[in-house]
Structure formats: structure tokens, C-alpha cells
Amino acid sequence: TQHSVKELRSIGIQPDVLVCRSELALPDEQRRKIALFTNVPESAVFSARDMDDLYAIPIELRSQGLDQVVATQFGMDLPPADLSEWQQVVEAGRNCEGQVTVAMVGKYMDLRDSYISLNEALGHAGRRSGVNVRVRHIESEQVEDEGVDCLAGVHAVLVPGGFGERGIEGMVSAVTHAREKEIPYLGICLGMQVAVIEFSRNVAGLAGANSTEFDPDTPHPVVALVTEWLDESGQVERRSEDSDLGGTMRLGEQACHLAKGSLARNEYGAQTVYERHRHRYEFNNRYLEELKKSGLGFAGRSIDGLVEVVELPSHPWFLASQFHPEFTSTPRDGHRLFDGFIAAAVSYRQRGDLPAKAASAAGA
């Protein structure tokens, strides 16, 4: 701490507050010593000790008076911060019972921070559902090599976003497994596209269906660049650098209209939602009616008529979105799609527990 402050002073910065990381709470004697040798008031030296729950850290620092010191430093006369809602988040984490396991099948699992927002969103939903969420990160190429046995014991399957051909068939196999075994499935961005590919091949009978990103010569381009497919009137869709979709890439928050009676609308509790996008390939509307007749539900559309959400009405919980709902999940409010997904995982786990409990009772 003293060395860090010395380095700051060498470039003309004198800290007003010190928050010291430590395994245990700083003893008063050590706090006084730090204050003495750094020219920081003892009342402005705070201890950020190791906590079982990261979300408890603001509560801990507030209990030491950090908020009042900061307010005083800025000459602001403020009442004590009301952290009652945040305290509820912490208590919810402490009161979680049981566990569900979510298989996240993706392309960049060796870089866990690639999916940090997804990991956090699943954790938020777990707190709100009162259950611990264990995320099993599975490389999609592992599914290609080992088959779906590596998905044994999971209560839900999630396929996140990504780019490129590598590992796609492993994701498709994971979707097949979730669909056939009635395991809750959530697809995000690429996860929606592979869900469409899987359904097209294995349910609608469109052999060789694919995205033009992975197979430019596919006989059934169910996913393609908007500029590569015809709209419902037979006209080639046009997108340019001046269009409202940012050229051929859709970026940022956009409106999505949800179909009445759909799972997505029931989960959101709203007709129109706003979610963030980052993708270039879209569902090909040329196949919309054909896949609808085969049982695929189209639950969300953009203002331009592009497909945003697909689902399987015949499945207990199967939903995939072209947008990224994880970006708007928060510890306090969570996100309705993740809440529904984890609740479905809990229900799936409970259904699996019933035969075991019945057998145990019979044996007794």
C-alpha cells in the first residue's frame, strides 16, 4: 500500500481514500500505520477483505462508512444510502438451496471471460429462483468428438454466440439432444441460428440445411446474409451503409415485437421489448412458412420483419433469440428470459428426481 501511494505521489497524485485488499479485516493498528505513512486520514482507510459473496462487498464497505467519506470529500450533504434492495440480493444468494447444472456449449470455453455476461446472468437468475447454478463449460468440438454423453446429468443447455464454422456440428448435436430429451434450451445469437439449422435438418427434412456463413453452397440457406435472400414477396432484400441496420451488421438496441401466446411473450410479460444485437447473419424468411408448418414457432420479429425469436411450442421450454439478453441482466433485476430458463431447469431436475424418489420409497 505504501509503495503504491509513493508511486502515485511521484506523478503528483495524493489519494484521499484507500481501499485495501486483504484476506482478513485490517486490524486497527495496521490501519493507523497505513494512514500515518500515506498521509491519508485513518477514517479514510478501508478494508476490502475476502468475502464469500462478491455482492456483499458494497454492504461491507458501507458498514465501514465509505459512502459518507466519499460524500464529504465532494462536499455533499447526503442521507445514508438505502441498500435494502441490494441487501435482498445478498440474502437471496445466501438462501439458495439445491443446484441445477447448465451445459454451456460454445466455441471459446478456454477463455471464460468470453462469456462473463452469460455466466453472471445465469447467476442472477439462480438467486432469483433460489437455487445455485453450476455452469458446465463444454467445448462444442468435444461434443463432436465424444458425442452427447458429455452432456449427461445437465438440467439445461445453452448455446451462446460466436462466429465461424469450427465446432458448429457439436452445437447442432447439443440442440438435437435438448430437443429430443425435452431438456430446457436457450440459444443466443449463434445459438438461435444452430437451433434453426438443427430443426430444418432433423424435423423439417431439409437435408443439408445450413448457414451460408458455414457452407456457402448449402442447398437450403436457412440462415444467410440479408442481402443473400428473398423476402416474402420474392424481392431481394437490400441493406446498405445508410440502412437502419448498420449495413449488413445489426448493432445495438432494437425493438422486437413478440407474438401473443408465445413463450417469449409470457416470459417477458410485454408485447414489445428492446434488446441489444451484434450479428451479421439472419434467419432466411424464405423458409418461414415451411418451418412454421413443421412446428417451429416464430415468436419475435423486428420492425423490418426479421426473425428475432424462435421456439418449440411442443417442448417444455425451448427458446432462442437473435439478440443478447445477457447484456441487460443485473443482480437486482435479473432478466426475465434467464429467470424462465433457470425455473425450467429446476422443473426438469424435479421431474428427474421423481422416479428416483419413487424407487427409494418402494425399496423402503
Helix (H) or strand (E) holding 208: none
Residue 237 cell numbers, joined: 432484400
pLDDT in tens, 268-305: 999 999 999 988 899 999 999 999 999 999 999 999 89
Instruction: Output the pLDDT for position 231.
Output: 53
pLDDT in tens, 58-103: 999 999 999 999 999 999 999 888 899 999 999 999 999 999 999 9
Cβ partners under 8 Å of residue 75, min gap 6: none
Mean pLDDT to the nearest integer, 132-144:
96
Task: Answer whether residue 334 shows pLDDT above 90.
Answer: yes
Instruction: Output the pLDDT for position 358.
Output: 42
Residues 204-210: contacts with CB within 8 Å, 24+ apart?
Answer: 204/290, 204/291, 204/294, 204/296, 205/294, 206/287, 206/290
| Residue ranges per structural domain of the chain | 2-80, 96-351
Burial 174-211 (b: 16+ CB within 10 A, else e): bbbbbbeeebbbbbbbbbbbbbbbbbbbbbbebeebbb
- Helix, strand and coil content of the chain, in percent to the nearest 5, comes to 45, 20, 35
Catalytic member of 155, 220, 277, 324: 324
At the topology level, CATH places domain 96-351 in Rossmann fold (3.40.50)
Q: What band does 28 get if pLDDT is binned at 50, 70 and 90? A: very high
Instruction: Output the pLDDT for position 234.
Output: 54
Instruction: Output the pLDDT for position 61.
Output: 94
Instruction: Output the pLDDT for position 66.
Output: 94
Who wins on pLDDT, 231 or 46? 46
Catalytic member of 139, 308, 311, 326: 326
Mapped to the 3 state alphabet, what secondary structure does 319-339 carry? EEECCCHHHHCECCCECHHHH
Taking the model in full, what pTM does it have? 0.87
| 3 assigned to active site | no
User: Cell match 408485447: residue?
Assistant: 271
Helix, strand, or coil (residue 76):
coil
Residue 2 cell numbers, joined: 505504501
pLDDT in tens, 237-273: 544 444 444 456 778 899 999 999 999 999 999 999 9
| 324 assigned to active site | yes
Instruction: Output the pLDDT for position 243.
Output: 47
Helix crossing, 28-38 with 2-10: angle to 10°?
Answer: 20
Instruction: Output the pLDDT for position 120.
Output: 96
Percent of the chain with pLDDT over 90: 80
Instruction: Output the pLDDT for position 302.
Output: 94
pLDDT in tens, 10-24: 999 999 999 999 999
| 335 assigned to active site | no
Who wins on pLDDT, 74 or 112? 74
Residue among 76, 46, 40 nearest 61 (CA) = 46
Computed on alpha carbons and rounded to an integer, the radius of gyration of the chain in Å comes to 25
Share the mean pLDDT of the chain.
Answer: 90
Catalytic member of 155, 177, 189, 308: 189
Cβ partners under 8 Å of residue 235, min gap 6: none
